[in-house]
Chain A
């Protein structure tokens, strides 16, 4: 039994208290340890993905208690990919936070950041439903701290909304788990899958309630309409690096839906017949529509990106809600794209806000306008799903997956029209920000200042870090496009593994009789 699986949880869990207790007054040391910890996480995640590629499902029994009595961590293709995605995103975000001095604007940024990574990695790796709740709480507690990082009245009030909303979600989660436990007597996911499948069709009333409650909880996290309204406020007011990191938090909800509703309440089980896909598909189409209309209607760049994040989740959930191997493969591919693109847009939005303010009104030309506009252009192409970046391939895969299904016309119409709306929204915002510039008030001094700032940005390595982070995320998107073939093969293998529930169950429960 390899101990590598637990490292993504244990490592941040040690680094965070160390930062908090030993080096709390030394920002430089905090930065070094935070970056080093994140780099190590990237390394571990690559090693884990390398192990998962073969298709073996690894099980780690905590305290050597056999499943289903103890808690297990399970590493399969999906969880390995999600941990890898988390670590890469975290690296970009922590570099940005250091370069833009966001971590100086409050206390304990790096400690909370590491705790957040611990929670996210744990949520992806765990094979136990109650443990999933615990890791949700870990990542939420850290996110509360990060959300109000830097303070300010507006941000604190948005933070209250965010916390209250998520506390309600946690309560609902517990109700769902209680209901499921009352029926099945287990919370281990593999064991749950076996027992739910064994239930006779007449006994499923209560478990169906549990399944729907659980879907509601994950929908809150994934910001599915009509449970999305916490997202624009929270993301728009959160510090930019935190909002970029939160791009993975909505994906935690999507991951949980993907995991629970293929494994436990699978599409072919009598329990979930007429329950999940029938509700999730229209809801996600609505999410997509409202998100992209929000992009067009927003008057503030941070809010615009938040709505783009909702729209992106909508596309992803359309792919998930179809519950076919083909569509799940598309969803896995799109998850990676959506996380990188959303995070990149939040970081670009922050650069714009720092330089000229976030309101979508004509303002003075900002320093480094050319470079940022190029980044914005690339990010907008990715978010809207235009060629040549991976958003286009992802959307194409979703369209292809819905080809021939009865809902095909509706899905194609919604995805194609919302893409057009998104393109218009981004074009409008980009036009206002980068082209409709006002004449500077003092024509003599400003151009010199611009050059000075430009020079400062290139001279100091720290000040260039935000661009390194953004270009890193862009490089991820480009790599996802160039290496689309291996990525798609990995995604399809992941989908095949998700639908092969028998092997998952055998991997987890079979190890009891070793």
Chain B
């Protein structure tokens, strides 16, 4: 199971980094989403991978349990990355609609005085 999860994180990260390096905003946003999935699975696995164990201690029950903290962390990270993705989609859409271009890089326009 460890090798499966580890390679899943690796594949997601690789694809994410590749997409982030693209020129247009849409693949970049997809890449960021993939990266955030990768990091969520990674965070989840930091509490060690176990099967069929509750994330809480039960009185008179099992003495073994799985670490609940990474699950709480992942939940926070999911919520934040979800909100962030929605936000970046809206800003990118606004930028595309107002400038008719969806390239990440900004060209130097003479009238703005930015010539670097």
Complex interface bits, A472-486 against B, C-beta within 8 A gives 1, otherwise 0 = 000000000000000
Contacting A at CB under 8 A, from B75-91, are 76-77, 80-81, 83-84, 87-88, 91
**Does B88 contact A299, Cβ atoms closer than 8 Å?**
no
Residue of A nearest to B20 (CB): A168
Of A157, A177, A182, A185, which contacts B95 at CB under 8 A?
A157
Q: A137-B80, A148-B94 are in contact. List 12 more A-B contacts (CB 8 A).
A: A154-B106, A156-B94, A163-B88, A170-B84, A177-B43, A178-B70, A181-B46, A181-B69, A298-B116, A299-B115, A300-B112, A359-B113
Of B25, B39, B84, B106, which contacts A141 at CB under 8 A?
B84
- B104 on the A face (CB < 8 A): yes
- A164 on the B face (CB < 8 A): yes
**Does B91 contact A156, Cβ atoms closer than 8 Å?**
yes
**Does A182 contact B91, Cβ atoms closer than 8 Å?**
no
**Does B104 contact A167, Cβ atoms closer than 8 Å?**
no
Chain A hits for B106, CB < 8 A: 154, 157-158, 161, 233
**Does A181 contact B84, Cβ atoms closer than 8 Å?**
no
Chain B hits for A298, CB < 8 A: 116
Of A175, A185, A299, A359, which contacts B42 at CB under 8 A?
A175
Closest 5 CB pairs of A and B: A153-B99, A156-B95, A359-B113, A182-B46, A153-B98
Chain B hits for A357, CB < 8 A: 113
Of A157, A160, A177, A185, which contacts B88 at CB under 8 A?
A160
A359 to B109, CA, bound (A): 13
Chain B hits for A153, CB < 8 A: 95, 98-99
- A144 on the B face (CB < 8 A): yes
A483 to B20, CA, bound (A): 49
Residue of B nearest to A182 (CB): B46
**Does A167 contact B32, Cβ atoms closer than 8 Å?**
yes
- A270 on the B face (CB < 8 A): no
Most chain A beta carbons < 10 A, residue from B32, B36, B80, B109: B80
**Does A164 contact B115, Cβ atoms closer than 8 Å?**
no
**Minimum Cβ distance to chain B for residue A333 (Å):** 32
**Does B104 contact A156, Cβ atoms closer than 8 Å?**
no
**Minimum Cβ distance to chain B for residue A339 (Å):** 25
Q: A156-B99, A160-B25, A174-B77 are in contact. Are A144 and B91 (CB under 8 A)?
A: yes
Q: Can you spell out 21 A-B residue pairs with CB atoms less than 8 angstroms apart? A: A137-B84, A151-B94, A151-B98, A153-B98, A153-B99, A154-B99, A154-B112, A156-B95, A157-B101, A160-B25, A160-B88, A164-B29, A167-B84, A167-B88, A171-B32, A171-B39, A178-B43, A181-B43, A181-B69, A182-B45, A236-B114
User: Could you tell me which B residues sit within 8 Å of A by CB distance?
Assistant: 20, 25, 28-29, 32, 35-36, 39, 42-43, 45-47, 67, 69-70, 73, 76-77, 80-81, 83-84, 87-88, 91-92, 94-95, 98-99, 101, 104, 106, 109, 112-116
Chain B hits for A236, CB < 8 A: 114
Chain A hits for B94, CB < 8 A: 148, 151, 156
Chain A hits for B88, CB < 8 A: 160, 163-164, 167
Of A134, A158, A164, A175, which contacts B80 at CB under 8 A?
A134
Residue of A nearest to B85 (CB): A167
A167 to B31, CA, bound (A): 11
A197 to B20, CA, bound (A): 37
Chain A hits for B39, CB < 8 A: 171, 174-175, 178
- A239 on the B face (CB < 8 A): no
Q: A154-B106, A171-B32 are in contact. Are A358 and B80 (CB under 8 A)?
A: no
A157 to B36, CA, bound (A): 22
Chain B hits for A177, CB < 8 A: 43, 73
A363 to B82, CA, bound (A): 47
- A159 on the B face (CB < 8 A): yes
A181 to B95, CA, bound (A): 38
A236 to B106, CA, bound (A): 13
Interface of A is mostly: helix
**Minimum Cβ distance to chain A for residue B60 (Å):** 23
Residue of A nearest to B17 (CB): A168
Chain B hits for A110, CB < 8 A: none
Contacting B at CB under 8 A, from A341-382, are 357-359
Chain B hits for A134, CB < 8 A: 76, 80
- A130 on the B face (CB < 8 A): yes
A153 to B92, CA, bound (A): 11
A228 to B37, CA, bound (A): 26
Complex interface bits, A275-319 against B, C-beta within 8 A gives 1, otherwise 0 = 000000000000000000000011110010000000000000000
**Minimum Cβ distance to chain B for residue A387 (Å):** 32
Chain A hits for B92, CB < 8 A: 160
Residue of A nearest to B32 (CB): A167
**Does A130 contact B83, Cβ atoms closer than 8 Å?**
no
**Does A168 contact B95, Cβ atoms closer than 8 Å?**
no
Most chain B beta carbons < 10 A, residue from A167, A168, A181: A167
- A152 on the B face (CB < 8 A): yes
Of B28, B45, B70, B113, which contacts A358 at CB under 8 A?
B113
Of A137, A164, A300, which contacts B28 at CB under 8 A?
A164
Q: A141-B87, A299-B115, A303-B114 are in contact. Are A168 and B35 (CB under 8 A)?
A: yes
Chain A hits for B45, CB < 8 A: 182
Residue of B nearest to A136 (CB): B80
